[in-house]
Amino acid sequence: ETGVTQTPRHLVMGMTNKKSLKCEQHLGHNAMYWYKQSAKKPLELMFVYNFKEQTENNSVPSRFSPECPNSSHLFLHLHTLQPEDSALYLCASSRRLERRVEQFFGPGTRLTVL
Amino acid sequence: DQQVKQNSPSLSVQEGRISILNCDYTNSMFDYFLWYKKYPAEGPTFLISISSIKDKNEDGRFTVFLNKSAKHLSLHIVPSQPGDSAVYFCAATRTQGGSEKLVFGKGTKLTVNP
């Protein structure tokens, strides 16, 4: 248990659906991250938030829309996804936005797009 | 093009012996390296890190070695235990300039046999 929770743990959706992934951290951290892990590929950073402000968008398609209402919660809104978007989506947080600082990961949401 | 490479997808070791996991990187701007460990159905957890000003960092049974000239790092686990069976990810970053990215390798699945 890392103090970072993600819901749902599994999600199956059609290409026309709209769904949201939720991440919550109970660690008092100020930075939060979304990562994507596709089969046989490295973990890829998608978005970074620092004190609720987005500081990085790693060229992510607009069908992925992040939202960070406060430092404890992070959402990833999904709309008109493609089958190749099927992957494990991991949320992480860190005490501050500094690259040496350890990131704490949630268990991930396994997403399947039909 | 992958900047962090873990060329061995899997490694099998006998309990009590040494496990050596390897990682190569191509970006000479990277100056901080981390190892994360991931059990099934859980997010990655931080294990150990090393700064480029060092060539070795030790924490209990875990030691990371860095060879900057070869752009190579390795994680040694001695003695290996069955509970060490997991996927190990190498990650790298630059602490100054650039984006807030951790660049991950694809991971090596370690199996420690009793």
Rounded to whole angstroms, how far apart are CA atoms A85 and A38? 8
d(CA B7, CA B66): 17
Q: What is the pLDDT of residue B108?
A: 97
Give the pairing type, strands B103-104 and B86-93. Answer: antiparallel
Distance from CA of A96 to the nearest CA of B (A): 11
Query: Quick one: tokens of A84?
Result: 């190749």
Tens digit of pLDDT for each residue in A85-101? 999 999 999 988 877 78
Minimal-distance CA residue of chain B relative to A38 = B106
Decide if B8 contacts B77 (C-beta within 8 A). Answer: no
Beta bridge partners of B88: B37, B108
Contact flag A99-B95 (C-beta cutoff 8 Å)? yes
- What's the pLDDT band for B100 if we cut at 50, 70, 90? low
Angle at CA of residue B99, ends B96 and B100, nearest 5°: 85
Read off the pLDDT of each residue in A6-34 and give the average, rounded to a whole number: 94
